[in-house]
Amino acid sequence: MKKVTIAIDGPAAAGKSTVAKKVSQALGYTYIDTGAMYRAFTYYVMKKGLDPQDEAASISLVPEVDIELHSDGRVICCGEDVTNVIREPQVSANVSYIASYKDIRLALVELQRKMAQRRSVVMDGRDIGTYVLPNADVKIFQIADVPTRAVRRYEENITKGIKCTLAEVEEDVRRRDYIDSHRDFAPLKPAADSVLLDTSFLSIEEAVEAVLDIIKRKIGEA
């Protein structure tokens, strides 16, 4: 059976991971959360006592960082289960810096491409359709307005016991949008052949159905 690749890109807190995970379950594909990989790297940089905004220092850790994504959703970085800690505000506040460094992106993109070669995947991130998997069978660019994304991330944080204010979260979302879309290497932008999906007024279930419909129209396998 032909391996199928689904790329879902979009800005921070657009609901990509939640939707991508449910879509992969519905299709029986492997879900690859590339954002978690950059978060894990960010956490490791901070754990080492380095400044994520220091590009040279951060890049120096590339040879020693080992990141594993498990089918049960666990993220392992250098032997440590970092699944929950990488969602903390201090990691969120710095991950866009780490993700903007070319040498780090090249290292992680190599891992991501190898994962996609082995099986059918649903991969979400910022540059999947434009750079990581430019020949993906289906490309979706998932968006939502900033206030909606801020509320979603705020509610997610509160559920996880992460202390924050809605104003802080909205400021972080706007800042990450700017950094992600203005970085020199593989910036956040929709692929020319991607399908735009605005989920501002969609529930998770409606967004999942919309993505499955897009996939069905594109490849007829949903």
The mean pLDDT of 72-87, rounded to a whole number, is: 95
The superfamily CATH assigns to domain 5-207 is: P-loop containing nucleotide triphosphate hydrolases (3.40.50.300)
The mean pLDDT of 191-211, rounded to a whole number, is: 97
Which is more confidently placed, 160 or 67? 67
User: For position 2, what pLDDT does the model report?
Assistant: 82
Q: How far is CA 101 from CA 9, 38, 59, 180, in A?
A: 19, 11, 8, 11
- Give residue-wise pLDDT tens across range 120-150: 999 999 999 999 999 999 999 999 999 999 9
In the structure, what pLDDT confidence band is assigned to residue 72 with cuts at 50, 70 and 90? confident
- Give residue-wise pLDDT tens across range 13-55: 999 999 999 999 999 999 999 999 999 999 999 999 999 999 9
Is residue 199's pLDDT more than 90? yes
Tokens of 73: 């959703």
pTM of the model: 0.89
Report the mean per-residue pLDDT for the chain. Answer: 95
With a CB cutoff of 8 Å and minimum separation 6, the contacts of 62 are 103, 104, 107
Q: Could you give the percent of the chain with pLDDT greater than 70?
A: 99
- Report whether 185 contacts 105 (CB < 8 A): yes
Angle between the N-to-C axes of helices 34-47 and 16-27, in degrees from 0 to 180, rounded to the nearest 10:
130
Dist CA 104 CA 193 (whole Å)? 26
User: For position 1, what pLDDT does the model report?
Assistant: 65
